[in-house]
Amino acid sequence: MKKYLYILFISFLFSCEKCEKFERNPNLELLLKDNWNSFFNPVWSPDSENIYYLRAHRDNLPTEASSLGIGGELWKINLKTRKTKFLLKGPFCALAISPDGNLLALSYEIGENEIEWEGGPLILVDTAGNILDTLNTSLSNVTDVKFSKDGSKLYFAGCKAPPGISPGIYTINLDGTEEKLIKETFGCDWIFFYLSKDDSIVFGKGNFNYVKMAEAMIWGDVILGPAELKIKNLLTGEIFIPDADPYGPPKEHSGFESAYWSPDGEKLIISVGEVEGGCLPAQVSYLELWILHKVW
């Protein structure tokens, strides 16, 4: 299996069906669970040793405990010792890791909307949590960021721009030079996007009411689902549904926020929460991190 031929996305199911007897996949391992925090946007370090993620405190959120609209702190967990470590306060709404594992890129959330991520400045951080630089970008509210495959630049997106500047997807060197518009958008289209192996933009999805496809998003305290995790082969278009649901049939019990490949392409780190009530609106009190050890 060539892992770069596959992408993750979430498909939303707007119906409720009768539950059948459920047996959790024994290859699913609970990594982090805390009734007072949500864990989301995890990324796997290239050396396979750590997972970096964002954490939102219930008591720091304005109303609903499961709202992630104001973003979260930067944390990491060592996969060998299972020790967690706080790195940077935030709040952040986007997280990416460089191919060599030495840098993190984050979008600092400056909005106070508890329903939607509004984005903010784009910053570079080392893996110890030290801010190295704040990049001067044309977009005032960056909502998503990715490293290029060679690690020399960043791709970033957002829908808010000053007069005369086009919203869309841009690239910029790590030193803040040579910013370039890659795809112009209208309104809040393509505020989240996915890059293939050759850095081409496979797709994005616009508006906060929809899914982030490669890393699906949560919309306030309502998961637009419950959602089902799927994998798509970019060459054949074939769809594969991994057994990644920790709480039951996807139409009933689980709401997925995001997923990220392990470096060997055989595992997934998944942000997912148990749905309360089973039908829309599907409220998830908090998001957990699970590892699917055998995707295929």
For the segment 126-145, what is each residue's pLDDT rounded down to a tens digit?
Answer: 999 999 999 999 888 888 89
Give the confidence band of 27 by pLDDT, cuts at 50, 70, 90.
Answer: very high
Which residue from 241, 293, 243 is spatially nearest to 267, judged by alpha carbons? Answer: 293
Q: Write the CA distances from 207 to 90, 156, 167, 203, integer angstroms.
A: 23, 16, 13, 14
- Per-residue model confidence (pLDDT) at position 134: 94
Among 29-33, 175-179, 214-218, the range scoring the smallest mean pLDDT is 214-218
Distance CA 160, CA 138 (A): 9
pTM: 0.82
Which residue from 230, 217, 291 is spatially nearest to 257, judged by alpha carbons? Answer: 217
Distance CA 159, CA 236 (A): 32
- Per-residue model confidence (pLDDT) at position 11: 45
Distance CA 145, CA 115 (A): 20
- The answer, yes or no, to whether residue 15 has pLDDT greater than 70, is no
Distance CA 191, CA 42 (A): 18
* H/E segment holding residue 6: strand 6-12
Over residues 44-82, the pLDDT tens digits come to: 999 999 999 999 875 544 333 345 567 889 999 999 999
Percent of the chain surpassing pLDDT 90: 32
- The chain-wide mean pLDDT, for the chain, equals 75
Q: How far apart are the first and last CA of the chain?
A: 9
Read out DSSP for 158-214? ESB--TT---EEEEEETTS---EEEEE-STTTTSEEEE-TTS-EEEEE-STTS--GG
Which residue from 288, 296, 294, 295 is spatially nearest to 257, judged by alpha carbons? Answer: 288
Distance CA 197, CA 148 (A): 9
Over residues 88-105, the pLDDT tens digits come to: 998 998 899 999 999 999
Give the confidence band of 227 by pLDDT, cuts at 50, 70, 90.
Answer: low
| Residue 75 DSSP SS3 | strand
Find the CATH number of the domain harbouring 146.
2.120.10
Q: Sort residue 28 into left (φ over 0), alpha (ψ -120 to 50) or beta.
A: beta
Q: Are 64 and 221 in contact (CB under 8 A)?
A: yes
- Per-residue model confidence (pLDDT) at position 161: 74
- Per-residue model confidence (pLDDT) at position 171: 93
Tokens standing for residue 166: 């086009």
Percent of the chain surpassing pLDDT 70: 66
Domain that holds residue 127: 3-292
- The structural domain count of the chain equals 1
- Per-residue model confidence (pLDDT) at position 188: 62
